[in-house]
Chains A and B, each alone.
Chain A
Amino acid sequence: MATVEIPEDMELVYKYPESLTERHTHYCPGCTHGIIHRLIAEVIDELGVRERTIGIAPVGCSVLAYYYFNMDFAEAAHGRAPAMATGIKRVSPGKVVFTYQGDGDLAAIGTAEIIHAANRGELITTIFVNNAIYGMTGGQMAPTTLPGQVTTSSPMGRDVETAGWPIRMAELIATLPGAAYVTRQAVFDVPGIRRTKKAIKLAFQTQLAGLGFSMVEVLSTCNTNWHMGPVEALEWAKQHMVDYYPLGDTKVIDEVKALAKGRK
């Protein structure tokens, strides 16, 4: 990376996060994984915990996330990241442990693992990226695919009579006593990206304060498998996803509220 001398009368206000490697990602042009990776990296930098953070990558498009984060990382079996995170955190209580999971990983094959990790109040943070489709396998129906949404395994559109309804994970997890902070955000525009970063930071702070399980569901896009351009995908998501998946906090315990206030 090129380095530049900062003149005395200027202040550095924006830089490449130390928590990201310089490796180019394999994500499709227009994919929002890159934005979410960066937000996490910025938060870890700001909290000064990179050297004691352990991440867990899922199976899905972000299976190679460990190449892009500059910190210790494990790669889990499909859906098992919360169980792996539990194992790591229980034997390393001083570390910061987070999972990065997609909708198939977290809301289908790994439903048991996420619910029980949350219910135990594991002191881990989960970043749940919901783009309503299986990206890596080429655009199949996900547990979060919207009713009527066309995918390669729901070619006539998701029929809720046979395929069931999309799962609202942020609401589901919020019902569990072990969950301290659960929120749903979206990275469809700049204000949304800023709010998402704030939420990710609060989620990590919740873990650092030992308050319980924290999860940020991030509504995201998959322009490739939605067969749209990146801008069109963002518009489509705003119009259709937010109706079914309302944005905002689904669980904030009082101690987390105090944490959020204290931060201002």
Chain B
Amino acid sequence: MAKELWEGNAALAEAAIRAGVEAFFGYPITPQTEVLEHFSKRMPELGRVFLQAESEVAAINMVYGAACAGARVMTSSSSPGVSLMQEGFSYIACSEVPAVVTNIMRGGPGLGNVQPAQGDYFQAVKSAGHGDFHMIVLAPANVQELIDLTVLAFDLAEKYRTLAMIVADGSIGQMMEPAEMPPMRPVRPPEERPDWALTGAKGRDPNIITSLYLGAENLERVNLRLQAKLKKIAANEVRWKEYSTEDADLLLVAYGTVGRICQTVVREARRAGMKVGLLRPITLWPFPSKRIAELAEQVRGILTVEMNAGQMVEDVRLAVEGRCTVRFYGRMGGVIPLPDEILPELEKLDAECR
């Protein structure tokens, strides 16, 4: 298929449609409302389900219901709305039904603003909801990746019967770029829904989907099963991209929008004679800790750049375990760090680690 000009949010919705999503439940919130709007037009055309819910709380519980029924389903929101969905994330994770959610992050805390930010890293990666669980967290840095990772999110969610979240920010959601859509996958017919799904107990014992396990040993068994699954995901699904790391003695670690900006920083730093490389995590959970640890043996110092007060840098430090110096640079409130301000931070690190 040829490249077309796509706006990020619409591309995300269309990619989900191409991936065979059967139902979308959502609530408007800037800067991702175009996701909902695209679905509102396309889903009825295709005879699929679109419903604007009364709140994000309701939307995620509709997703939970449809997922229990074995349908391919998703919702989308932005930071404050995602906070409201966290109750549902926890139930979905414990019930082990597959679902895809997106967070087109905006500035926070509170109502914050509608500018692009990465303040929800901790929420996505460390505390998706109450109880012990992780979501698979995918972080695209451009519209094409947003499309590709949306398709991947459905496949991973179903493969592991878990939640997969795409985290982007308002600038990826609202920018327009040439990108290629995947071909349309056929929608799975209702009679081919998974055998664990709630489809009516016809000729079989009833299926029960619950997240309630009374008795400590009972619940611990479930916890251990969930943890074993997460371990498997962590072993198999780590994804990242590297730029100019072969000979690098300084490393940038950044994801999403600022990860893309850091590609420019690498070029400019190299022009200035610094041997800088970039590792851009694609999966924020599971985190590319092993690769960062390897690179920490090779480089003198690491600069983590984020659009927040320093969140992913904690995971970088955990991976590095003191092997080299780790520094952080970030902007908040929706301010996007630019190469002109990142470069001097690299120079400082360079001087510090000489």
Chain A residues within 8 Å of B, Cβ to Cβ: 50-54, 56-57, 63-64, 66, 69-77, 80, 83-92, 95, 112-113, 115-116
Contacts and interface: CB of A to CB of B under 8 A. Distances in A.
Contacts of B71: 91-92
B54 A112 contact: yes
Given A71-B206, A87-B23, A112-B58, A52 B200 contact: yes
B54 A92 contact: no
B23 A90 contact: yes
Contact of B65 (A69, A71, A74): A74
A86 B212 contact: no
Contacts of B206: 66, 69-73
B62 interface: yes
B61 A90 contact: no
A16 to B, nearest CB: 16
A213 B60 CA distance: 21
Contacts of B155: none
B198 A74 contact: yes
Given A75-B211, A90-B51, A116-B54, A84 B201 contact: no
Contacts, number: 131
Contact of A72 (B73, B198, B212): B198
Interface residues of B, number: 39
B63 interface: yes
Which among A73, A75, A87, A95 has the highest number of chain B CB atoms within 10 Å?
Answer: A87
A63 B57 CA distance: 20
A144 B70 CA distance: 36
B98 interface: no
SS class, residues of chain B in contact with chain A: mixed
A83 B60 CA distance: 8
A72 B201 contact: yes
Contacts of B211: 75
Given A74-B198, A83-B65, A115-B54, 19 more contacts: A50-B201, A54-B199, A57-B210, A63-B212, A71-B200, A71-B201, A72-B200, A73-B208, A73-B209, A75-B210, A75-B211, A77-B61, A87-B23, A91-B22, A92-B198, A95-B199, A112-B58, A113-B61, A116-B58
B40 interface: no
Given A72-B201, A88-B198, A77 B58 contact: no
Contacts of A90: 23, 49, 51, 62, 66
Contact of A87 (B66, B200, B201, B208): B66
Contacts of A69: 206
Nearest to A115: B54
A116 B52 CA distance: 11
B190 interface: yes
Interface in B72-107: 73, 87-88, 91
A56 B51 CA distance: 20
Contacts of A57: 210
A225 B49 CA distance: 43
A54 B65 CA distance: 11
A245 B198 CA distance: 35
B234 interface: no
B53 interface: yes
B64 interface: yes
B202 interface: yes
15 contacts: A52-B200, A56-B65, A64-B212, A66-B206, A69-B206, A72-B198, A72-B207, A73-B208, A75-B210, A75-B211, A76-B64, A83-B65, A87-B68, A88-B198, A92-B198
A67 B43 CA distance: 36
A87 B73 contact: yes
Which among B63, B190, B198, B212 has the highest number of chain A CB atoms within 10 Å?
Answer: B198
A69 B22 CA distance: 29
B208 A91 contact: no
Given A51-B202, A53-B200, A72-B198, A80 B68 contact: no
Contact of B68 (A51, A64, A74, A113): A74
Given A54-B69, A91-B66, A74 B88 contact: no
B200 A91 contact: no
Contacts of B64: 76-77, 80, 83-84, 87
7 nearest A-B residue pairs (beta carbon): A87-B65, A83-B61, A84-B65, A87-B62, A75-B210, A87-B66, A91-B71
B201 A70 contact: yes
B208 A66 contact: yes
A91 B58 contact: no
A57 B208 CA distance: 10
B55 interface: yes
Contacts of A63: 212
B210 A74 contact: yes
B183 interface: no
B133 interface: no
B6 interface: no
B186 interface: no
Contacts of A88: 65-66, 68-69, 198
B301 to A, nearest CB: 46
